[in-house]
Structure formats: structure tokens, C-alpha cells
Structure 1
Amino acid sequence: MLRKFHSCFGLMATLLVVILAITGAVLSVNPFLERIQTQAMGASSVSIAELAGKLAVSHPGAQQIQRTASGSIIVYFSDNNQTGADLINPVTGATIAAYSASPITMWFKNLHRSFLLDIPGRIAVGIAAFMMLLLTFTGAFMLAKQLGGWGHILRPIQGSLKQRLHSQVGRLAVLGLILSASTGLYMSAATFELIPEYQSAEPAFPEQVKGGVPSSIDSLAALKDIPLTELRELVYPYPGDQYDFYSITTNQGRGFVDQATGELLSYQAYGNKQKVYEFIYMLHSGEGLWWLGLLLGLSALAVPLMSWTGIQIWWRRKRSSITIDNNSTAKNADTVILVGSESNSTWGFAKAFHDALNTAGYLVHTTSMNSFTSNLTNSCANTQRLFILTATYGDGDAPASASQFLTQLEAMTEIPTFPVAVLGFGDQQFPEFCQYAKDVEAALTAKSWSQLLPLETINRQSSQEFSRWGNAVGKALDIELSLVHTPTQPRCTTLALVERVDYGAEVNAPTAVLRFKPANGRDLEHFEAGDLVGILAPGSKTPRFYSLASASKDGVLEICVRHHPDGLCSSFLCGLAVGDSIEAFIQLNPSFRPASGKAPIVLIGAGTGIGPLVGFIRHNTAHHPIHLYWGGRCPQSDFLYEDELNTYLKDKRLTELNAVFSRIDERAYVQDKIAVDSEELRGLIEQGAQVLICGGRNMADSVMAALDDVIEPLGMDVQTLKAQGRYREDVYS
């Protein structure tokens, strides 16, 4: 619900908010430029009287002196019946340049304050400021939820490039945007008198002025007592009128000064409301706090970027939305399917399941998990079974369409008699794999809900695992049920094999390093080592994913593949000859990548899991400390990338190589080497090391157990490292 609210308001407010942000960013530079100019004049400790005395010589027709919040001094004068204004050096009183308000700056101010539409525009600006504030708060709450709560708000962000860019930029800009939007909203409210009037009372107008010959301005006591840094405005008396007086405005209040005696005739200090307004104005504009103005300007520049990425994310989600055909009403249905999805991908599987049950003769009602209320269950008079298909969002949380399910389930007092089966969707590289599905299963069990099938999970939207689950459902229903769903894949590119290196035949583990280039001679699309390539074997509609050992800037797409006799895709790939081609597409995997910084990196893998790890080492041109732990079978047969790794040891891209082999005397595995090197690894973890694991699930589980023992003396475990974003996996079954 919050995401829909955020998206809806974002789409409606995009144009207004972007204009507000860009113009605000442009105007934020002015206080900084003024500050530079003021500093170049030198610090001024003179009094108002002293500067005015110098201006009496250089500008005998002076009528008004102004000091801006950034310290610039402007004198307005009359000369031969012509008015003018000069920018003044506050120390010498000399003219720096003629002063005039920049028409470009004024245009930007008017655009920022009223969209060039006067009163209606000012109303629109107030609405835009409110929307910006609303979007900032909802975006912050969504990000906190995604990362597992406010305590984890600084955790690494997962997702596609656009999702990470949107969230990361928003996280950096959130405080600046809240400050800009809230102060702007306050000033809009003050403009339309929606809050109590902020202006203080005027000083009492002098009724009796002694008059007399005006004294030299630099001798007036009241002006001598006020430093120039306190001045805002000094208005001269009308020439020749001995009963007129100086009007002075300072940072503290307003008053009148006798031109003959120099006496302060009356004075009115600012009230608290005006002080509050002026403080808020300073926070909003940066005038008087130039460094804050620049920070707010940088925050404002995030708005156009977030608007663009936000629209891209929304459009992608919109295109992936699914329409369920032949959807029976809850009252008539004999089968109910509830769907929990964050980005609509789970709905594709639900639709395939719905259609297959329809074909088998069932009346199916498919809806979101949030629709599971007492009203729905009461209307399910004919329902005989319930299926729940749900993804997990963020750190084990409910996805958008299931956010209210557990609350609604807990509120139920009567449990329906029909059985339920739960299917979870997730990615095993994330620490909370299918955690929400597990929570749903546990909540149903706690409610003593009967079970049609035990909980099953689907990793990385595997069509094979979904099909196997369909077979299990078919057996439970005593029907033939074939579930076929292949998520929409990106457009494939034809790649030609240009090089292969073979290993492992002697130990019955044939493995090949394969390097491809585009068959059409064009450049590769962008990818990094650790991203994935989806490859379609001939006769298969289901892609197999392989971790990339290269980056696109290397000019080749490189993977490391072990031949499995029953593996359709691995048999196809390992049977390729140089010149043969494949159909493939890139799937970004930004969560499996070394973090930036100087902290050590520990890479751990076995078998073909060395592929992306070699890619990370290959691109370590900054020579960050990298320690590699890798396990193979026999050093003479399947020491993958041996020559290349030795080269990286020599040129310092690799700090330490720890290779172990299971087919020689010690029959060692990589987890055993970790236990042997426990003291060294503990020291690296204390230095902030990041750990990346790539290989089979069994190996990864064994490594996790070994590392738990290694870092236990530090009062930590692997889950702690995961929560800190310092333990990342790319594993396969």
C-alpha cells in the first residue's frame, strides 16, 4: 500500500517537484559565490559609522546602505538626478563594481517561488513542497522496511542498477530534502497567513525630533556602537530635512537615529516569531549559511535522478503486471490461490498454476494475500483447498501484496477446514531466503491449519523447481498437473566461442573455461565480474545461469563450466568448438561484488566457483589485500586458472593463494584450510574484511560452519557479517 501511495504521488508530482528542485539547486550556489567575494575583501571589523564616513566621500549622494546575509555591501545613491547602486568594499569603502540584480537569478527565483504564475503559482509551489516532503518520508520508510528496519538503514542495498541508484541517492539526500521541503512548506504557509503572522511590531515613530544641523555621519554615537557585521539596512534621512532621521535595521531589530545628535530615538527588537521565520528562511535558502545552501543544493539535484529512476522502476513493474483470466469468484471457487509479490514476478507463476488448475476442471479464485480477510474466508463456502505463493521482501519481510496477511491471520478466531500449501520464492544468495514464506507456514501451523503439502521453496524463479512442485500438487490432488512457466527473459545476443581451456578429465570432473565474443562484432553490453549470464541450450526454453569471470571491458564473456552428464546446458557448452555460437543474455548480480574501500577481501570457492573470484582478482588493479581460498580435486588435473593466479601473486593483485585438493593424500577441503588458518582469518575479519563465497550449496554451508567457529572468539558469527553486508554468497545446488 505504501509503495502504491509513493508511486502515485511521485507520478503526479514529478514535474512540479523536479522544477522546484532544479531551481533550488541553481539558487543554492548564490550564497557561496557571495561568500567567496566577501572573503576576498577581507574580514571587516569596522562600525557602520566608519564605513558611512568613507562613503560620504566616495558617494556623497548615498541614500541607503544594505548588507546581504552573505556579507556583501551595497550602496544606493543619487548622482545628478540619476540613481545607481554600487557593490562596496566594506573595509575601504571603495567601489568594486556597479550593482544590479541578475535577471537570470531573478527569473530562477520567480520560477522557484511561484512557477512564474504569481499567486496561483505560489499555491502550486506550496503543494509541490508538501508532495516532496511526503515522498521523502514514504521513500525513507520503504527503504527502512526493505533493509530490515531503521537499525539497518546503512546496510548495502540490493536490486537492479536503477533500484540501487534510486535508493542509494535517496538515502544520501533524505535529510537535505526533508529540510528543504519542510522549510519551504513553512514559508508558503506564512505567505498565505496559514500560521500566525511572524513580523514584529515596528519601532515607535519619533514624534518629537530636536532637529538641528546634521552631524557628520561618522560621528553619530548610535552608528559607532553597531558593528558593520550586524547591519542589514541603513536608510538616510531626506536631504535638507533637519527633522528627518536615519532608519536602521540590524540582525537584532529596528530603530531610528537622530541625524544631529546621533541619539537612538526608538528601537524595537525582533519578536520570537520573526526570529523563527528568519532562521527557517536561512535554513531554506542558505543565505548566511553558505555551506548548508550547497548541501541542500546537492540534495536537490538528487530529485531529477530519483524521478527518472522511479519512473523507470514503475514502468518496469507496470509492464510485468499479470492479468488472471477465468478468475472465479470466491463464493464459487473450489480452490483459492493467494499471491504475495513485490515486483509482480510471483504473479506469473500464480497465473500458470491458476490456468493449469482451470484446465484440469477446477474453479479457481486467485487474489493477493492482503485480500485474505474474514469476509473472504466466510464467502469461501465451496473452497476445498488453499494455496499460498509468496516471495520475500528485503530482510525477511512481507512483499507489498502480503503486508497485512499475518495480521489478518492472527485476528481469525475460526480456522477453515480446507487444507493449505505454501510455496516460497526467493534467492539463496540472500541471508533470509524465503523467510516470509517460512513465517507464513509457521503462523498457519500455530493456528492448527491442516496441511495439504509441506512448505516448498523456489530458488531464482527456477522453472524446473516449479514444475516439480506442480507434480507434487498433482499427486496430492490425484490428477496430472503440468506446470510450465518461464519468466520473461531479456533479448538474447548471439555469442561465438573464441577460446576454451579444458581441465579435469583425469579426475572425472571435465571442466572448461569458455570465452565468447559477440558474433556480429559489436561491443558487449555492460556487465561486471560476478554478474550472471543466462544461456539457452538448443531445444530448451529455460535458461541456465553461470557466474561471469570477466567484465565487459575485458572484451570477452568468460565462464567456467563443469560438464554434468545429465546436464542439458553443461553438455551443450562443453561440447562447443571454437567458432560455435550460443544464445545468451546478461542478468546483473550487483549484490555479489567486493565492496569499495581498503578493507581486506577474503574469496572462498570450490570447483567452478572460482570463476567470478578470478574476475575480482583480475580487476584488482588498486592492489587491495585479497586472500583466496579454493578447493579442487587434483593439482595436476583441475587446478583452474593456475598460471593466471600465479601471475596475480607476482603483480600483487592477489595477496595470498590457499589452494587445497581432495584427491591427494591429505584429502583436504576448503573448509578444512579455513579451520587451519583460523588465527589469520580472525585477524582479517577484525580489520573489516569482506567475505565472498562462490560454489555449491554444500560447500557454502560447510564454509559457513567453519567461519562461525573461526570468529566466535570475536563475539561474532556469519549472520553478524551478513547483517553488516560483509558476507555475500553466489551459490547453487
Structure 2
Amino acid sequence: MLRKLHGLPGLLVALLLVVLAVSGSILSVVPALDRARAVVPATDEIHVAELAGRVVAHYPGAEQIVRDLSGQVVVYFSEDGQAGADRIDPRTGASLGPYQPSPFWGWVKNLHRSFLLASPGRFMAGMLAAMMGFLCVSGVLLLVRRNGGWKALMQPMAGTGSQRIHAVLARLACLGLLLSAVTGALLSAQRFGLLPEASDSAPAFPAEVSGGQPVAVSQLKALAQVDLNELRELVFPYPDDPQDVYSLTTAQGMGFVDQSSGELLQFQPHAIGGVVQHWILRLHTGEGLWWLALLLGVSALSVPVLSVTGARIWWHRRSSATPCDSANIPDADMVVLVGSESGTTWGFARALQRSLSQAGFRVHCADMNALATDYPKASTLLLLTSTYGDGEAPASAGRFLERLQAFQPSSPLDYAVLGFGDRQFTHFCRYALRVDEALSSKGLNPMLPPELIDRCSVEKFCDWGRQLGARLGVDLALHHDPVPPATFELELVERVDYGCAVQAPTSILRFRMAGAELRLPWLRSSGPRRLPAFEAGDLLGVLPPGAEAPRFYSLASSRSEGVFEICVRKQPGGLCSGFLHSLKPGDTVAAFVRPNPGFRPAADTRPVILIGAGAGIGPLTGFIRKNKARNPMYLYWGGRSPTSDFLYQPELGDYLEDHRLTGLSTAFSRADGGSYVQDKLRQDQKALRQLVETGAQILVCGGREMANGVRQVFDDLLAPLRLNVDVLQQQGRYLEDVF
């Protein structure tokens, strides 16, 4: 039950959790960047009066000084009636440059807080944070069960494949994810009134102010007693108003300073609740704790990997746990019962059932939990079971020993037990041994001693099958390989590189089949260089060295061209994109094709509008290349610079000349004042609206941000037609391949 509570909710919200985690990971670098940019004096000898005096010398119109938790000092001022804000050097009070919060960081923060959906999105983000907390706690409990107790939790992790990656990574990232999840959920609960929001109330404005001649801010004794590191905010009094005061906020509290006497007035320490809320926020964002922010960011990066490995584990269990086609209990002369936690054991059971059926037996196959009270015609009972955690029963065998107490066979039964496990675990196949003892004590006759198979050994399974066949008097040729189908090998024959000058390295890579024989199941009889069927828009799965999960790239070519062509942008820290960008002609990769029929132009004469940005041009170019019928086809594409990353420029020129491409509109963000593909669409909205009226199909390929912008543009330009993107999608006329 706990595994289902952990797995199913995680699968349902995996994509949203990835968005939440990746955006949080991006934001985690902000405190480190702020700290690196801040000028922090080497000593603690600068006091606030001294700082304010230096600031006023450079900014006579200073209105407010703010020191954030990273140590960065910002002055807000007015000059010639214009408001401004500068970062300053606290040692001199001189400007370090304008203070301009980045729109990018603001967008990422909005994505992280609310998925760009305002209050409903913020509520959803809070619920996801709570869900993440639950997944962390339930995941730890599952790890404790898997490893055989709390003491074994931190021991070297056993297992292989996705399960091992998932378990090891979860153990490493759990504390960071749990801290982010709990603090995020608390902040959300406070925002929506589910928990009381503790905040500091400002002290009352002082009833008595000296009202004398203001003295220089550098001479105010109350400010001279506050160290720079304690400052949070200093608000200057209104000019020419002797009754106004300085408002001072420090790490300890809030108060006012008389601008004439320099006395501290109405100082009020921060409330305990306010301090707690302040620390909840700091622990969530890492503000002022750059090292913690980076640790939380690294932990958050585990979420995409955990989502992939978790989905693979779930799919493996689902696909492997399908029961065999089996005989009814009254008719069966052979019974195979299966105890499996992840579904792997079911694959071996199906192989056994097939072989026994071919030998003429009527085989009933079921979970161990489905043990009947009797099998009237059966002479043999075979049990295949794994072991979970501290020698415990796997999920499909948890009630077997209990049900065995009521088992009353009407005729003598022979039995054999086959255990599956991993010798790295302390309690290797312990449950299989417990089952063997229980069956023996029940009076059943052992055909063979219990056989224990380590790490799904195919050879050991075959050996056990031969022994079993000898006892049954038949030839049992058992074979089952739980390893996923092998990939085929591709050799890089050509690469064209773009984008280095604009810090966006992007390459067009062309591969052909390597000399090794293609090893796909549906092409077993094929020769060395036979290509699988694929079209532009299908996906090429690439397995970089050392990776468990493949990465997918949209193909820009089809089988008739004889090459696999992909367009790949090198992502910072990207395992697969970095590997692909390091390839030289002659190097090879392991790959496979995944059909993607939901993203390709319709096979008719209707106009097609292709829209993309960056590497998203790959499959769009493939569609144009295949447009030999010269149907109307228009391309809108965005890059950075026409001189460095105009992907496929020569080919697109040729396609315009031979009319496979009807129109081309490009936008470059770092040329001619900067424009984006959305801008070009708005410029052509009248023509695009007319194309849609004639039945045009729209295909969008590229990054999520670009795709969202394009969607908004089309929603706007289609409004006069009483249409929107959702309607076009339902009609199959608006397709997206977004990454």
C-alpha cells in the first residue's frame, strides 16, 4: 500500500514537480550570484552612520538604503525629479552600477511560485510542495523496508538499473528535497490563510520628536551604534521636515532615529513569530545562505531523474506483472505461483509457463497471494519468488504464508522453489527459503532443493529449467532475458556547427548505420546497413555512455534519405548534448527510433505553417525537404544572430528557390534591435488568419517558453474568427513538439 501511495501520486504530478524543481534549481544560483556581486568589507568596523554619510555625499537625494542578506547594498534616490536605484560600494558610497532586477529571474520566480498562473498557480505549487514532502517521507520508509531496517539505510546500496539509481539518488537528495518541500508548503499555507501568518508589526510613530536642527546623518549616535552587517533598511526623513524621523530596520528589530538628537525612539524587537517566518523563507530560498541554496538546487536537480527512473520502474512493474494465460484451477495439472515486488519475476514465470505448456502441461499461473485451498488435478506446485527488504515477502506474496495454513491438497503434491535476489542484500533470498520451509512442514514433497538466482541470472534460470525438466521427464529449454532490447549503432558522418559566437553551440549531426548488424527485434533478418522505418518528426533515442535513461531528439530526416539527422543544442551540464557535441566523424553512438506520428504535416494539399526557434528547426526542415509536391508551406523561425546561428540557411535558400518552401520569415534576438518569432507572427497576423480560414495546419517545435508565446499570439489573432488554439488542437490542426 505504501508503495502505491508513493508511486501513483508521484506519476500523476511528475511533470509539474519537474517544472517546480528545475525552476527552483535555477533560482538556487541567485543567492550565490548576489553574494559574488556584493562588496562585503573585510572587517566589521563600518557602522550605519558612516555608510549613510558616504552615500549622501554621492547621492544628495538619497531616500532609502537597503542591505540584503547577501551583503549587497542598494540606495534608492531621487535626482532631477527622477527616481533611481544603484548598487553601491559600502566602503566608499560610490556607485557600482544601476540596480535593475533581471526580468529573466523574475519570470523564473513566477514560474516557480505559480506556474505563471497567479493565485491558482500559487495554490497548486503549494499543494505540490506538500506532495513532495509526502513523497520524501514515504520514499524514506520504502528505503528502510528495502534495505532491511534503519541501521542499513546508509549502507552501500544494492541492486541494479533504474531501481538502484532511483534509490541511491533519493537517499542523497532526500533531506534537501524535504527541507524545500516543507518550507514551501508552510509558506503557501500561510499565504492562503491555512496557517496563521506571523509578521512583525511596525512600532508606533514616536509621539515626541525634538524637531531641532537636523544634524549630518554621519553624526547620528544611534546609527553609529549599529554595525553595517546588522542593517536591513534605513529610510530617510522627508526633506525639510524636522518633525520626520529616520526609519531603521536591523536584524534585531525596528525603530526610529531622531534626525536632530540622534536618539533611538520606539525600538521594537522582532516578534518570535516573525523571526520564525523569516527563517522559513530563508531556508526555502537560501537568501543570505548561498551554500545552502546551491545544495538545495543540486537536490532539486534530482527530481527529473527520479521522475524518469520512477516512471521506468512503474512501467516495468506494470508490463512485467501481467499474469500468464493460464488454465483454470480445476483443470490444471501444473501450478506456477509468483511472488514479485517489481514485476521482474513475472517475466521468468511467463517463460516457464510457455515452456511447460509446449511440453503438454495444463498450467495455472497466478500470484502467490491467490493460493487456492486445493488444486484437484495438479501434481506439481512451482513457486518463483523474490525477497523484499529484511527478508520479507514481496508485494504479490504478502498473504501467502497465511493462506498456506488453510491449504488442503486432495492429493500429494510435489513442489520446487526458485528464489530471485541480489547477493549485495544482507537477506539474500530469505523469503524463498522461508517458503520452502513452510511447504516442507505442510507435508509437500520437494522435487528439488531451493534454487537461488542472483541478479536475474539467465544461465542459472536455464540450469534450473534443465533440472526441473529432468525430474518431470520432459525437455525444458527455459530462456528469459529481462534486459531491455539492445540498441543499434550509428556512426557520425557529418556535422555542421553554429552558435559558438552567441554562446549557444548548436550542431546539425548526420549519422549512418555502423557496420554492426542492426539488432532490433522487428529487423532480425536484416543486413548490416538496413535502416528502420522512420520519418522526419520521429524521435531518435540516444544512450550516452554512463546513462541509464535515453535522451530523445527530433529527427530531421527520413529513411529514404539514408541518414539519421538531428539538430542538437549543447545544454550547460547536459550529459547527452555534451556527449553528442564532443563527437567527431567516425565516432559512434547507441541509439534507437521511437515513432512520433502525432507530429507531422497532414498528407493533403492544405497550407502548413511551421514555427520554431533554435534547434526546433530540425524536424521542420525535414518536413520542408519532403514537400516534393510543393504544397504551400511557410516557415517562421527564431535564432540569435544571422551571422552565427542561422541554422540550415543554405538549404532553406534552395527550398525557397525550388518552391518546396513558400515563405520564410526569420527573427534574431541579437540583431536589428532584437526580435522574436512571436513578433514576426504578429506582423503577419492578417495573412496567417487567412491561411487558417483556408484550413492551414500549424506545427510548433522548440522550447516551452517560445511555444507558450506562439500559442498566445495565435489565440489573439484567431479571436476574430471565434477560434483558439484549443479548438485547432482538437481538429488536429495545431501540433506541438516542445522541450
TM-score class normalised by the smaller sequence: 0.5 to 0.7
SS in 2 for 1:275: helix
CA–CA distance in 2 between the matches of 1:308 and 1:494? 22
- How far does residue 270 in structure 1 lie from its aligned partner after superposition? 1.6
CA–CA distance in 2 between the matches of 1:259 and 1:382? 101
Aligned to 1:467: 465
Aligned to 2:383: 388
- How far does residue 109 in structure 1 lie from its aligned partner after superposition? 1.1
Question: TM-score of the superposition, structure 1-length normalised?
Answer: 0.60
Kept in 1: contact 2:39–2:89 (CA 8 A): no
Instruction: Please give the residue correspondences for 1:423-442 in structure 2 after superposition, counting only pairs within 5 Å.
Output: 423-426=417-420, 430=424, 432-442=427-437
- Any stretches of 5+ residues in structure 2 without a counterpart? 490-512, 520-544, 547-589, 591-739
Aligned to 2:171: 171
Deviates most, 133-142 or 279-288: 133-142
SS in 2 for 1:232: strand
Aligned to 1:369: 368
Aligned to 1:344: 343
Deviates most, 338-347 or 84-93: 338-347
**Cα RMSD (Å) of the superposition?**
3.7
Instruction: Please give the residue correspondences for 1:147-226 in structure 2 after superposition, counting only pairs within 5 Å.
Output: 147-226=147-226
SS in 2 for 1:65: strand
CA–CA distance in 2 between the matches of 1:340 and 1:97? 67
- Any stretches of 5+ residues in structure 1 without a counterpart? 496-518, 526-551, 554-585, 587-733
Partner letter of residue 416 of structure 1?
Q
Kept in 2: contact 1:420–1:449 (CA 8 A): no
CA–CA distance in 2 between the matches of 1:359 and 1:140? 44
Cα deviation digits, residues 63-118 of structure 1 (max 9, x gap)? 11111011111110011110000111112211111111111111111111111111
The 1:344–1:80 alpha-carbon spacing in structure 2 relative to 1, beyond 3 Å, is same
CA–CA distance in 2 between the matches of 1:327 and 1:50? 90
Aligned to 1:266: 266
CA–CA distance in 2 between the matches of 1:78 and 1:17? 43
CA–CA distance in 1 between the matches of 2:488 and 2:99? 65
Aligned to 1:277: 277
Q: Are 2:408 and 1:416 aligned?
A: yes
Cα deviation digits, residues 190-236 of structure 1 (max 9, x gap)? 21121222113331233343423322222222222221211111112
Aligned to 2:677: none
Cα deviation digits, residues 683-717 of structure 1 (max 9, x gap)? xxxxxxxxxxxxxxxxxxxxxxxxxxxxxxxxxxx
- How far does residue 180 in structure 1 lie from its aligned partner after superposition? 1.4
Kept in 1: contact 2:462–2:479 (CA 8 A): no
CA–CA distance in 2 between the matches of 1:273 and 1:334? 71
Aligned to 2:690: none
Deviates most, 484-493 or 164-173: 484-493
Cα deviation digits, residues 348-379 of structure 1 (max 9, x gap)? 3433555677789987653323455xxx65x9
The 1:415–1:157 alpha-carbon spacing in structure 2 relative to 1, beyond 3 Å, is same
SS in 2 for 1:207: coil
CA–CA distance in 1 between the matches of 2:434 and 2:305? 36
Partner letter of residue 423 of structure 1?
V
Aligned to 1:499: none
SS in 1 for 2:366: strand
Instruction: Please give the residue correspondences for 1:646-665 in structure 2 after superposition, counting only pairs within 5 Å.
Output: none
Kept in 2: contact 1:173–1:302 (CA 8 A): yes
Instruction: Please give the residue correspondences for 1:30-41 in structure 2 after superposition, counting only pairs within 5 Å.
Output: 30-39=30-39, 41=41
Aligned to 1:65: 65
The 1:353–1:493 alpha-carbon spacing in structure 2 relative to 1, beyond 3 Å, is closer
CA–CA distance in 1 between the matches of 2:476 and 2:77? 90
CA–CA distance in 1 between the matches of 2:415 and 2:271? 68
CA–CA distance in 2 between the matches of 1:36 and 1:380? 74
CA–CA distance in 1 between the matches of 2:230 and 2:356? 80
Deviates most, 340-349 or 53-62: 340-349
SS in 2 for 1:60: coil
SS in 2 for 1:338: strand
- How far does residue 389 in structure 1 lie from its aligned partner after superposition? 1.9
1:399 aligned to 370, 386, 394, which one? Answer: 394
The 1:184–1:413 alpha-carbon spacing in structure 2 relative to 1, beyond 3 Å, is same
- How far does residue 257 in structure 1 lie from its aligned partner after superposition? 2.2
CA–CA distance in 1 between the matches of 2:264 and 2:445? 89
CA–CA distance in 2 between the matches of 1:303 and 1:453? 48
SS in 2 for 1:287: coil
- How far does residue 441 in structure 1 lie from its aligned partner after superposition? 2.1
Instruction: Please give the residue correspondences for 1:279-318 in structure 2 after superposition, counting only pairs within 5 Å.
Output: 279-318=279-318
The 1:227–1:488 alpha-carbon spacing in structure 2 relative to 1, beyond 3 Å, is closer
CA–CA distance in 2 between the matches of 1:264 and 1:327? 90
The 1:433–1:207 alpha-carbon spacing in structure 2 relative to 1, beyond 3 Å, is closer
Q: Are 2:21 and 1:21 aligned?
A: yes
Kept in 2: contact 1:62–1:78 (CA 8 A): yes
Aligned to 2:52: 52
Kept in 1: contact 2:386–2:420 (CA 8 A): yes
Aligned residues: 492
CA–CA distance in 2 between the matches of 1:57 and 1:492? 72
Kept in 2: contact 1:320–1:345 (CA 8 A): yes
- How far does residue 265 in structure 1 lie from its aligned partner after superposition? 2.3
Aligned to 1:78: 78
Cα deviation digits, residues 34-81 of structure 1 (max 9, x gap)? 222335654443111111112221111111111101111111001111
Kept in 2: contact 1:44–1:90 (CA 8 A): no
Kept in 2: contact 1:434–1:457 (CA 8 A): no
SS in 2 for 1:298: helix
Kept in 1: contact 2:163–2:309 (CA 8 A): yes
Question: TM-score of the superposition, structure 2-length normalised?
Answer: 0.59
CA–CA distance in 2 between the matches of 1:522 and 1:464? 28
Q: Are 2:115 and 1:115 aligned?
A: yes
Query: Identity rate of aligned residues, in percent?
Result: 43
Kept in 1: contact 2:345–2:420 (CA 8 A): no
- How far does residue 470 in structure 1 lie from its aligned partner after superposition? 4.0
CA–CA distance in 1 between the matches of 2:419 and 2:134? 32
Give 1 or 2 for the bigger CA radius of gyration. Answer: 1
Cα deviation digits, residues 120-150 of structure 1 (max 9, x gap)? 1111111221222222233333333333333
